[in-house]
Amino acid sequence: MLSSLVLALSTAALADEKAADDCLKTKIWEGYNTGWAVRTATSATLGKGEHRIYLVTLYAGNEYKIMACADTDVANVDLVLYDSLGNEVMRDANQDREPSLSYKANATDTFYIAVHATALNGSAASGGVATAVTYK
């Protein structure tokens, strides 16, 4: 019984992530038409107020676009870029499910990307959020 419940929950979570992955994959492939390529794409299931942090190396000279896509259970996703010392570099201020940040590093360094699910829709307990780092 418990195992069925766990399986059902994890299947639901994976379904959420799949919708987010599909949305992100479309954006990544569209990006190739304008010279963007993908460093990493990953996904997670987040509850309201939860976040994921990704450490990322950004090269001086390259342009970077950090993108996220959430499924319809998520009302708002926020992206925040921090430098290696924890100083906030930039954040997206829009209330939406598909935020992006564009950044060009002055020097090669490591940064933190924070992906927050700040609001969910209706009675959803969690939602899938896919995140990608692309460059050109």
Partner 1 sequence: MLSSLIVTLVLAGCSDAEKPPEPPKEEPQVEVAPKLDAAALAAAAENIALVPSPAEMQRALEKNGIQAGLSAMVPERKLKMDIENKDVIAVRTGVVLADALLTVKDAPKEKLVERLAAVKAGVAALGAGGDIGAVIDDLTARITNDSVSRDDLVKELDEMHGAIIPELKYEAGERCVPLIQAGSWLAGSNLVAAALSTANNTSAATELLRQPQVADYFLKYVATEGEGKAPDEVIKQLDGTLKKLKEIASKPTLTIDDVNEVKAQTDAVLGLL
**Site for partner 1, rule CB under 8 A:** 28-29, 32, 37-42, 49, 51-57, 59-62, 76, 78, 80, 82, 84-86, 88, 91, 95, 107-108, 110, 112-114, 116, 118-119, 132-133, 135-136
**DSSP string of 112-126?**
EEEEEEEEE-TT-SE
Shortest Å distance, C-beta 9 to partner 1:
17
DSSP SS3 for 9: helix
- Quick one: 86 or 122, whose CB is closer to partner 1? 86
Shortest Å distance, C-beta 91 to partner 1:
7
Shortest Å distance, C-beta 37 to partner 1:
5
- Quick one: 1 or 118, whose CB is closer to partner 1? 118
DSSP 83: E
Shortest Å distance, C-beta 116 to partner 1:
4
Q: Where are the extended beta strands (E) located within 10-108?
A: 37-47, 51-58, 63-70, 74-83, 88-91, 100-104
Nearest one of 47, 64, 50, 84 to 132, comparing CA atoms: 64
- Quick one: 1 or 107, whose CB is closer to partner 1? 107
DSSP 72: T
Cβ neighbours of 25 (radius 10 Å): 15
- Quick one: 1 or 91, whose CB is closer to partner 1? 91
